A and B are shown apart, each in its own frame.
Chain A
Amino acid sequence: MIDLKGVTLTLNSQAGPVNILKGIDLDIATGETVSLVGPSGSGKTSLLMIVAGLERATSGSVSVADMSYNGRSEDDLARLRRRSIGVVFQDFHLVATMTAQENVAIPLELAGAPNAWRAAAEALDSVGLGHRLTHYPGQLSGGEQQRTALARAVVAKPSILLADEPTGNLDGKTGQQIVELLFQLRGDSNSTLLLITHDPGLAKRCDRQIGLADGRIVTDSATQVAA
């Protein structure tokens, strides 16, 4: 489902080039749940962005959902995301000027689905926000915003779910509710889940735990290899 070989990422900063990822090899099977852990600056988010097609690897090959990213245009990758990838962020990243229902409908609208609004309402209902359809993000609590983001991530029934510290901006109780919801929604569609977290408990809940440090994979529970 997700196949990365020798992936490196170097970004230019004002201080000069920074090597973010230094040769990542990673193979994730369909339906697998994987947690990415590691200190800040270890390259977790960059790895997630590369899988999402939002960042281009400097070298190496990336293949997601049977599509090789090499030579693909930005629009090709955008179409892939519409079809196969749902993303959840720590900061929710809802469109502030759109209601909850409109936010959730976006992926379906982009894909040209005819029943986007009804499906969005159902998705919001499934995360317990059926009564908040017309509310704007600013009128929702943090937990409600993340639920909306979750509904938006799964509404198009993607085969891959990417989550970047989805509970990082929530209190413990609300965070726990979101985690339950995330796993429930993933289970419903048997999606592959790649999850970044600092929470060891949450990481352990995944089938596989991968540890990153300084741009390299340092631990992988699947292989039980410690570098």
Chain B
Amino acid sequence: MGELSLAWRFARRELRSGLSGFRIFLACLAVGVAALAGVGTISADLLNGLQRDARNLLGGEAELRLFNRDLTAEESAWLRENSQALSAIAELRAMASVPETGERRLIELKAVDNAYPLYGQVALTPPQSVPDGLAFRDGQWGVLAAPELYRRLDLQIGDEIQIGTLRFQLRGEIDSEPDSGARAITLGPRVLLPLEALAETGLAQPGSLVYRHWRLVLPEGEPFVDWTERLGAAFPDAGWRVRGLDEAAPSVARFVGQVRLFMTLVGLTALVVGGVGVANAVRAHLEQRRDTIAALKCLGASAGLIVKLYLVQVLLLASAGIAVGLLVGGLAPVIAAPFLSDLFNISLGGPPDLVALARAAAMGYLTALLFALIPLARAQSLPAAGLFRGYVDTRKLRAPLWLWPALVVTAAALIAIAVVGSDNPIFALGFVGAAAAALLLFRLAAGLVVWVARRLPRPRHTTLRLALSNLHRPGAPTVSIVLSLGLGLTVLSAVTLIQANLSQQVSEELPQDAPTFYFIDIQNEQTAAFDELVGSFPEASLSERVPMLRGRITAVDGTPVPELEIPEEVAWIFEGDRGLTWAEQPYPDMTLTEGDWWPADYRGATKLSLGDEIAREMGLGVGDTLTVNVYGRDVTAEIANLRIIDWASLRINFVMIFSPGLLDQAPASHIATVRIPEAGEAALADAVADAFPNVTGVRVREALESFSRMLDSVALAVGITGGITLLAGLLVLAGAIAAGERRRRYDSVVLKVLGATRNVLAGGLALEFLLLGLITALIAALVGSLAGWVVIDLVMQADFTWLVEPLFITLGAGLLLTLFFGMLGTWRALGSAAAPLLRNE
């Protein structure tokens, strides 16, 4: 304790001399901590907002969802008796058209009752209540629509639109809905219409893609869990999906969790890159303090006191950098709130999350400590006599015993904070491992550059010789630059490559045989007419048309789903209803991996063709059984074969294809894909809409564009964090170059005395930085490509394309940034007047 207080006293005295030499140290920590704190506080704000607004987002305290089935009288009565309030809505996609012009637009339709919304407000222009806006007046129902519909179809309030077979009057614009949540992919503007009118539109046919929801306020004082137990006991086979407030917006929570995980890890990389700057600054500081250390040792300071003295300084300075980072990170939600509030439709701007700030601060301190330990250990080991003599035989220096345990414990603590409590610890651990491997790779590469530069034959050309020797001379910034810029550029190249791959897959290069349209909700009796209509367009081809039903898996090999241990990768198949179909024959190009297809005329016990990957995840094979509840009836089918599903083909695909015989009797709608050249798209869409008002056409390109827009938002967020890593790398680069300025000034003055021109000197420097930038960028491009492949191919399980542009961006950025910052940092050295320096020397 006595030594610690002495260390504290001495440290304060030393720090009075100012923070020069620690600007990069402070900036590196501030940037890294700000990124981590910002990501943490923004995501916490979002998750808190989700909790705060859970009633609004869910539309009640509990929600029941059924697919294309209304409540039975008994169910309806039970819900009314066991709730304080009940509201029913139905959601589907449909076409809206303008009767006068015939113009059409795909819309996201929500049919609501008079109780809607149970919580929150629907903001409308002009101001009015929802029931007022939708009321039957002057012989017409009203509808409310998002401004986009008015804009796209050139409509005014009061105009008529047709939805299905019914005409409505537009009564107002929807500015916001409390329960819209974050619909990442929307295929059209929102339209609200009265639930009473839905039946009259002809859109809610048997088998149509209609989701019905009932939102309710729970009985006074009854917990959700108790209520669901009673509900389950009353209607064990209803097949509805029940959600409570903790699942108000599960996809948003999952999305925020995943983005938080990724951005936290990228932020941690930025912090670790900054750690190189921390190490450089501490090393330089201790180098400057050699005399002080030697003097203190002479005066009787113990080695422990020396370490404590400089450790206290490092921690004090780290506190300053971390404080700045926390301030910026703490303010980040305030800056991001307006944008994110609109995007996710939740109220934001709560107080900053202290846990997130504490985590960021802890990571900041641990990083500072991790990178300061080696220079500190070195300071402890340096013999005072050697310091006075000006020569220390570093080969004889032994690391103190505490160094390795301290490094291991600090690194483990840093990893633990990053991994434990993260949304995907295994991924987080993998990321940390990969980052550490990359760090090691760049360190080795830097060592190799120095080794090779030292062993290359001396070039005759002065500029080249100067450049080469600058790479390996003592105190050269080669290692720092390769290490810090390398990691930054790796993140940049990986992010660019991933983004480019995803964009290419969703928008730029649609598969050759990708359909132009998906037509959904074609009724059984409409199929022949539909086929005929498509056939009347000579340039159009009907790719596929299959029946579609909805069903919920209730048991696997007789074991009820709740009792199964389901791998996370395939959990989605068991969450509520899934689309399914039946087929007599396999689709063209279908590849079976196990078992055989049933005979075309097979009508025996129901068999099933299951997606290969899903079956393997579940450990299922031919002969196992799945029980699926279709429209309230359990159908058990034996797996006859497994087949490969290529979702990227954009063709109609189903996880489950049943044999005909039982399911072909169930009410089903049909889904069809049609290919047609762009010139004929509008005419076909109009013709289908005119002939079949209940059928909805979805343009594949528009759907993908919507998906692409969502990806762009994610890419922007990830790109910002990736950019921060690069910024941290640049700070380290600038610091490393600045640290060598005195040496460069001396070199350049001596060379000027010997007759070197400014051009020769500048050429040498430019060549040095170009070589460094090129080598670093090449390795970064390779490591970044590898990281991109891992994410695209292994994590996202999509096809990876090695794209040249992102790699050129990495190479270009590496070269230009190294050259720019290198020359910026050394330009002063070139302009140094010789005489004053020589006199001083």
Contacts and interface: CB of A to CB of B under 8 A. Distances in A.
Interface of A: 11-13, 45-46, 49, 52, 54-55, 74-75, 78-83, 87, 89, 91, 93-98, 102, 106-107, 109-112, 152
A81 B300 CA distance: 5
Contacts of A13: 391, 393
Interface in B280-325: 291-292, 294-305
Chain A, interface SS category: helix
B779 interface: no
Contact of B300 (A46, A49, A79, A94): A79
B297 A78 contact: yes
Contacts of B404: none
Contacts of A80: 300
Nearest to A84: B300
A52 to B, nearest CB: 7
A106 B302 CA distance: 12
A49 to B, nearest CB: 4
Given A12-B396, A93-B294, A106 B299 contact: yes
Most buried by B among A45, A52, A55, A106: A106
Contacts of B297: 54, 78
Contacts of A91: 291
Interface stretch (B12-20, B416-424, B478-486, B624-632): B12-20
B36 interface: no
Interface string B376-394: 0000000111001101010
B9 interface: yes
Given A12-B396, A110-B6, A96 B17 contact: yes
A49 B303 contact: no
Interface in B31-59: none
B2 interface: yes
A106 B14 contact: no
A160 to B, nearest CB: 13
5 contacts: A74-B303, A79-B302, A81-B300, A93-B298, A98-B10
Chain B, interface SS category: helix
B9 A96 contact: no
Nearest to B14: A97
Q: How large is the interface on B (under 10, 10 to 19, 20 to 34, 35 or more residues)?
A: 20 to 34
B395 interface: yes
B799 to A, nearest CB: 56
Interface in B539-560: none
A11 B389 CA distance: 12
Given A83-B300, A95-B13, A109-B6, 10 more contacts: A11-B393, A54-B297, A54-B384, A74-B303, A82-B299, A93-B291, A93-B298, A95-B295, A107-B300, A110-B300
Given A82-B300, A95-B296, A98-B13, A110 B388 contact: no
A52 B298 contact: yes
B299 A89 contact: no
A97 B16 contact: yes
Nearest to B6: A109
Contacts of B302: 74-75, 78-79
Interface of B: 2, 6, 9-10, 13-17, 291-292, 294-305, 383-385, 388-389, 391, 393, 395-396
B751 to A, nearest CB: 25
Contact of A81 (B299, B383, B389): B299
A110 B396 contact: no
B312 to A, nearest CB: 14
A163 to B, nearest CB: 12
Contacts of A82: 299-300
A97 B292 CA distance: 9
Nearest to B292: A95
A204 B305 CA distance: 40
A12 B393 contact: yes
Most buried by B among A49, A81, A110: A110
B237 to A, nearest CB: 79
Contacts of A102: 13
Most buried by A among B291, B295, B296, B391: B295
A56 to B, nearest CB: 8
Contacts of A78: 297, 300-303
Given A54-B297, A74-B303, A110-B300, A12 B395 contact: yes
Given A12-B396, A98-B13, A75 B299 contact: no
B126 to A, nearest CB: 71
A55 to B, nearest CB: 4
Most buried by A among B9, B15, B388, B396: B388
Contacts of B10: 98
Nearest to B396: A12
Contact of A87 (B292, B298, B389): B298
A97 B17 contact: yes
